[in-house]
Structure 1
Amino acid sequence: MDTPQDPPPMPPAKIIVYAITLPLSLLLLIFWPAGSLGWRPGWLFVAIVVIGFGVSGLVLARVNPVIYRARSRFQPGTKGWDKALLAVILPAMVAILPVAALDAGRFRWSHVPLWLVAGGYAALLAGIAVTAWAQAVNPFFEPGVRIQSERHQRVIDSGPYRAIRHPGYSAAILLFVGMALALGSLWGLVPALVASGVLILRTAWEDRLLQRELQGYSAYAARVRWRLLPGVW
């Protein structure tokens, strides 16, 4: 058998660009629509997001560093239908923050009780944790849908994959809904639900592809019945 070929490392210049633009983009997406840098719920949100993803990033760098190569870019062979779905999912996901900040920070269209805001943070942190757990055990966790034949892709059935077949997508839905509620916005749920709905469609299509083309996946699907939520689907 030929040697598995992992994706090349991300160029240092690209790492620097990401390290600068991602935090700045987060601040811009929240505080520009909110209309004030003094919006305290926005700063609380930023602090929790940075700490949550920072801790998960440090853990992944230790237990599965190759994941950063896999997640750094869309690889050749990514399905065209997946790119079309992502063209909806990604803008909707990004829109959650400015819509929520415009609502809760500037116009205050919706009133979200404190317990629901706390629930949003719980969903947000759970989404970060489950995402990190899935990435820690799955070196084939990529941003695009394809069969990674050059990496000798195999079925992963450890960690959260023992309970559901697509834990990363379950975590993403928690993140989408959690972001809107944590910022205290009901209007932010609109793009969150759009992103979640298309992601559910992506789950079904990816699962069909894996059952058809990834050796051993059909047997795994027979053992682990649920795609996103145990007992439901």
Structure 2
Amino acid sequence: MSLALKAFSFLVLGIVITALPLFLAAGTLAWPAGWIYLILLYGWVFIGILLLLRYNPGLLAERVNVAPANQKIWDKMFVVLLNVFFFAWTILMPLDAVRFHWSWMPLWVQVVGGVALVVSFILMSLVFRENSYLAATVRIQEERGQKVITTGPYQYVRHPMYAGGLFMFLGIPLLLGSWYGLLLVLLFLPAFLVRAVLEERTLLQELPGYDDYMTHVKYRLIPHVW
């Protein structure tokens, strides 16, 4: 299977496994916020695939490699946990915001959620542009000659992809109008932060020069906070 076909197959699969539970749980297709979410998210993914195919196919191949040989065991467990969380989250938010109306959220808060989602895409796109070793799994890519990245957003925080992801996971439930979705994100957040710390330990132990990088960039996700 060609890289392009594999990447776009992942895109179609992602759309299906997001859209089906989202709208089935909502009980209707007449949900503008749900459509805006899908268009923003998978529009960004589609554009990203096109750009990576042209400018960095090696990174795209790494991103669609879901089971690399040297992925850390604890990271495999995290990926399973993340998939369970995402599925439950995708069902909870439409149940909350549309079918049962447990939450009431002002329109302006939903707009803020949409803006946060777009900001997350901008931040993560900058990370993709800067880091050709941005794997979806935690591992050292010795076969690709992985090195420490110190430029772009990596000048300010050690894990800018996580920072962008934080905006995304906070923005989605706000855009969809679900306070319970936001609560579930906050409950999942400790696992997200633990993974960042464990990934950092892996880089410190196995990637030459990362210890020096840590002495210059003090913060993990948010400057002057953590």
TM-score, length of structure 2 as denominator length: 0.91
**1:164 and 1:229 in contact (8 A); partners too:** yes
1:107 aligns with 2:105: no
**1:47 — aligned with what?**
39
CA distance in 1, matches of 2:188, 2:34: 22
TM-score by length of structure 1 reads 0.88
Distance 1:121 1:155 in 2: 33
Q: Does 1:18 align with 2:10?
A: yes
Structure-2 change in CA distance of 1:61 and 1:160 (3 Å): farther
CA distance in 1, matches of 2:121, 2:64: 18
Q: Which runs of 5+ in 1 are unaligned?
A: 1-7
1:134 paired with 2:127, answer yes
1:179 is aligned, of 172, 181, 203, to: 172
| Deviation by residue 1:90-123 (Cα, 9 ceiling, x = unmatched) | 3213332221111111111011112211111111
Please give the per-residue CA displacement for 1:120-157, whole angstroms capped at 9, x wherever unaligned: 11111111221221112111111111121122110011
Identity %: 33
Q: 1: distance between equivalents of 2:189 and 2:83?
A: 11
Count of residue pairs brought into register by the alignment:
225
Which residue identity does 1:214 align to in structure 2?
L
8 Å contact from structure 1 (residues 127, 171) kept in 2: yes
1:54–1:18 Cα change, 3 Å: closer
Q: Give the letter for the 1:25 counterpart.
A: I
Matched residue type, 1:155: V
- Residue-by-residue CA offset, 1:184-220 (whole Å, 9 max, x unaligned): 1001113322333211000111111211221000101
- CA distance in 1: counterparts of 2:134 and 2:8, whole angstroms: 23
Q: Which residue of 2 aligns with 1:197?
A: 190
CA distance in 1, matches of 2:41, 2:109: 18
8 Å contact kept, 2:11–2:45: no
Tell me if the contact between 1:122 and 1:178 (Cα under 8 Å) persists in the aligned partners. yes
* Structure 2: gaps of 5 or more residues: none
Judging by fraction of residues, say which structure has more helix: 2
Paired residue for 2:113, among 97, 116, 120?
120
Aligned CA RMSD, in angstroms, stands at 2.0
The residue type paired with residue 152 of structure 1 is G
